[in-house]
Amino acid sequence: MTSLSTTTRKRRHERGFSMIEMMIVVVIVAVLAAVAFVAYRRHIRKGYVIQATEFVTRIVQQQELMRQQNGHYTDMGSNAAYPALKLREPVQKAWTAIPGAWQTFGLRPHNNVSYFGFVVRASRPVVSHQIENYASNGRFGIPAQPTTPVSDPGYIPPHPWFYVIAVGDMDGDTNTACNSPNPGSITGCTMILASSARPSPTVYNQNE
């Protein structure tokens, strides 16, 4: 009788231990799945940044081509990002109702969609390539215009310039302030900057 009771308790103990093991396995699998999902999402969003960086490089190249052809860079005329970021990001944004300056510029992202918005500003010869507020930001490296008068023997003509800002909301915190990106205050957004002085794109706040 004692032997049977001991065997029964042993079997119950074994069944209970197996259930605990199964619960532990379920928890471990859930944790691993969560970690894998976070890693996958980070990988996907890193791809969005890479795509935007490549497009910024193409914009820089196109600007230099436009200067060779027209004698000046192309100004998009607005500090608002195009296409505008949405309330739920990151999402794919179609390039439709394209502003006239972008149409003249003649450049589109792959498949006419992007996860970033873009700001492209450039100097204009009619105002002596005046330095616009954001263009003077140190992150662009655009030098100040010379101040020597035309009558001075050492006169140096004003230099043309441009800058590019790619802006995205990679963590989806609905920061619509990113639609008017300020390179002097890079918070809450992922930004990619390039300019005539610094043509290689630089990424800031990659996961924001």
pLDDT in single tens digits along all 208 residues of the chain: 555 555 555 555 555 567 777 777 777 776 666 666 556 567 677 899 999 999 999 999 999 999 999 999 999 999 999 999 988 889 999 999 899 999 999 999 999 999 999 999 999 998 889 998 899 999 999 999 998 888 888 888 999 999 999 999 998 876 667 888 888 887 788 999 999 999 999 999 887 7
Reported pTM: 0.81
Strand partners, 164: 120, 194
171-198 b/e with 16+ CB inside 10 Å = b? Answer: beeebeebbebbbeebeebbbbbbbbee
